[in-house]
Amino acid sequence: MSLLEAAHQVHTVIKRPTTCVVVPAFNEEAGLPDTLEALLKQTEKAERIVVVDDCSTDRTRAVALSYPGVECITPSQNLGSKAKAQNYALEFIEEDLVLPVDADTVLRPTYLSLIKQPFIDDENVVIAAGNVQTKFTKHITERGRQIEYLFGFHLYRPIQNRANSPIVCSGCCSAFRTKDLVEFGGFPERTIVEDFDYTWSQQIAGRRAIYVGNAEAWAADPATPKFLNTQMKRWMSGFFQNMRIHFWGAVRHKPMLALWAGLTMIEVITMPLWWASPIIMSWALHMGIWISLFWWLGLDALLMIPVLAYASHRRHVNFISVMCNIPAMYFNKMFNTYHALRGMFVELILVPMGITKGLAVYEKGR
């Protein structure tokens, strides 16, 4: 190897993209300290950490400025959504990557180092998403979400990643190539879920989104049914907004992404049938309702347990406690079912007919 080649290799190793972390925050004085402390403890430091205080009425700005090196910018008036707050910050960003982090999300110290790697390995990568887990498991809604995350991030996401078509890169801690994001016009504001919208838009345009399973983060999830209801309304409405905007483009240009979306549609349509399965089994097989319910739950558990056992091992979570939280998943699934069916009806039928404009106001549901 010549000295010139060796020098080039050293330069390649050292040259890593610069990063600006953006933390959109509205009345987040309680959760913000954990988020900022985790960012400051990263093994590979971000060049900048910028908190966007969206005209909070609490001490969010004071908390942000109490941490050394943390910048805080405040718009002249409340912007009203996470996408708008992030776009406000985008005007001040010159770094290669932008990493929006929710003000109630905590990153593992190695997160930034790991999430950068796909951008170095492939210039066509424009989004990289990490593995999100539940920050708290005190309430029934949080326990149900733990099961959903363990299952989804250790089965669906890896499969979609292998197929080069992640259906979404979580908005709480995904990294974006700044140049492409600016050229696109920033984080999309036409839907209620900017992470879905941008993930689909870029993949349909031929760019890549990557799931980085070893990059771990913990998000604060809804602690009450009220907040779960608000969150699922937004998530499900946003999903079907993206189906309305992007599905046929995905069919033409990103068939595998369209396949995942289509399978999700089928799952939503058949949800009432799934809930009614114990009654149908009892009637069709002439079994008692309790025996039917036992078989229904047993078959469901057989499908989940292997994945949950693997996920618990990977994330160092007590498997017994995970198993005890499975009933909470069914509690959450009632909200998921209602808002999925509602979102599909409103966004795919009523909106095209001009009867309603669909969900347009961003409401935070923890």
What's the pTM? 0.91
Closest CA to 142 of 231, 34, 60: 231
Q: Are 325 and 137 in contact (CB under 8 A)?
A: yes
Beta carbons within 10 angstroms of residue 310's beta carbon? 14
Supply the pLDDT for residue 1.
52
Supply the pLDDT for residue 285.
82
Domains in the chain with CATH codes: 17-223 (3.90.550.10)
Torsion region of 91: left, alpha or beta (phi above 0 gives left; psi -120 to 50 gives alpha): alpha
Averages of pLDDT over runs of 10 residues in the chain (366 residues) are: 48 75 95 97 97 95 96 93 94 96 97 97 97 96 97 95 93 96 95 94 97 96 95 96 96 96 95 92 85 86 92 95 95 97 97 91 67
Helices 140-151 and 225-253, packing angle to 10 deg: 20
What is the distance between the alpha carbons of residues 366 and 362, in angstroms, rounded to a whole number?
12
Q: Are 246 and 204 in contact (CB under 8 A)?
A: yes
Helix spans in 41-109 (H): 60-65, 82-90
Helix spans in 15-156 (H): 32-40, 60-65, 82-90, 111-121, 140-151
- Strand, helix or coil for residue 201: helix
Q: Are 96 and 83 in contact (CB under 8 A)?
A: no
Supply the pLDDT for residue 294.
85
Supply the pLDDT for residue 2.
54
Supply the pLDDT for residue 204.
97
What is the distance between the alpha carbons of residues 99 and 257, in angstroms, rounded to a whole number?
24
Torsion region of 140: left, alpha or beta (phi above 0 gives left; psi -120 to 50 gives alpha): alpha
What is the distance between the alpha carbons of residues 165 and 262, in angstroms, rounded to a whole number?
13
Question: Measured between alpha carbons, how far apart are the two ends of the chain, in Å?
Answer: 55
Backbone φ, ψ for residue 195 (5° rounding): -70, -45
